[in-house]
């Protein structure tokens, strides 16, 4: 064994936060099942054993990391409705899974997860709808749910598809479709 010094409380708190941040990125990149506890601790340059000083289980980390992902999501960043659509339905967002919207990154994974993770995801969905209410006040609640579903679906399909042109088409066409709808709803207001 080598150099297993006790760290200060500040350092320990930083370790915990870093673990959540790393997990949040890795889970979005590779999916919840495909990231091991060792992967997360390894991303911090630490070994696996220390993990359980900070978290009760991998599942507890998953719920926390999922929640953390929402607070830095693309949907959370403000701006105009146009800018939001341009950013969300962009090739940059598509190619940056680890830093992108967790709604799209984890949508099928979450359906198979325990309640803590699903709760966290559900809160993220409500949060996303609330954000849309701010940037697109002209839409009804129902239209906003259709919009969120359209954005998440387009991004997820653009990532799944194995053809660059088709992938770009899904992003572009969803962008155009929803941009037009938002413009029309503004004009009616």
Closest CA relative to residue 184, chosen from 138, 142, 130: 138
Does 51 bind DNA (CB under 7 A)? Our answer is: yes
57 interacts with, out of a copy of itself, DNA, none, CB within 5 to 8 A per kind: DNA
Residue 35 in 3-state DSSP? coil
Does 38 bind DNA (CB under 7 A)? Our answer is: yes
Task: Tell the burial category of 16 from Cβ atoms under 10 Å away from its Cβ (0-12, 13-18, 19+).
Answer: middle
Integer Cα distance of 72 and 50 in angstroms? 26
* Closest CB to a copy of itself among residues 38, 122: 122
The widest CA-to-CA distance across the chain, in whole angstroms, is 70
Calculate the dihedral angle through the C-alpha atoms of 45, 36, 125, 131, rounding to the nearest 10 degrees: 20
Which of 21, 119, 138, 185 lies at the binding interface for a copy of itself (CB under 8 A)? 119
Contact range with a copy of itself by CB under 8 A, out of 9-17, 36-44, 55-63, 156-164: 156-164
Taking the CA of residue 140 as centre, how many other CA atoms within 13 Å lie in the half-sphere pointing to its CB? 3
* Closest CB to DNA among residues 59, 127: 59
DSSP state of 117: H
Does 95 bind a copy of itself (CB under 8 A)? Our answer is: no
Integer Cα distance of 164 and 166 in angstroms? 6
21 interacts with, out of a copy of itself, DNA, none, CB within 5 to 8 A per kind: none
H or E element at residue 43: helix 37-43
* Closest CB to a copy of itself among residues 7, 176: 176
Does 108 bind DNA (CB under 7 A)? Our answer is: no
Does 152 bind a copy of itself (CB under 8 A)? Our answer is: yes
148, 178 in Cβ contact below 8 A? no
Interface residue list for a copy of itself (CB under 8 A) = 30-31, 33-34, 97, 103-112, 115, 118-119, 121-122, 125-126, 141-143, 145-146, 148-154, 156-157, 159-163, 166, 169-170, 172-174, 176-178
Q: Which residues bind DNA (CB under 7 A)?
A: 1-12, 15, 35-39, 41, 45-54, 57-59
């Amino acid at each position: 064994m080598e150099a297993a010094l006790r760290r200060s409380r500040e350092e320990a708190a930083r370790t915990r936060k870093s673990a959540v941040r790393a997990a949040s990125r890795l889970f979005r990149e590779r999916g919840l099942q495909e990231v091991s506890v060792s992967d997360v601790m390894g991303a911090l340059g630490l070994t696996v054993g220390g993990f359980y000083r900070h978290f009760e289980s991998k599942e507890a980390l998953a719920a926390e990391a999922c929640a953390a992902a929402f607070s830095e999501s693309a949907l959370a960043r403000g701006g105009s409705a146009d800018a939001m659509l341009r950013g969300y339905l962009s090739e940059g967002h598509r190619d940056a899974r680890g830093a992108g919207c967790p709604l799209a990154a984890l949508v099928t994974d979450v359906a198979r997860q325990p309640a803590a993770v699903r709760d966290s995801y559900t809160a993220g969905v409500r949060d996303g709808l609330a954000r849309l209410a701010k940037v697109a006040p002209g839409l009804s609640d129902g239209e906003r749910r259709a919009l969120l579903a359209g954005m998440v679906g387009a991004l997820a399909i653009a990532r799944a598809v194995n053809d660059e042109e088709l992938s770009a088409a899904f992003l572009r066409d969803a962008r155009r479709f929803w941009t037009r709808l938002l413009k029309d709803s503004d004009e009616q207001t």
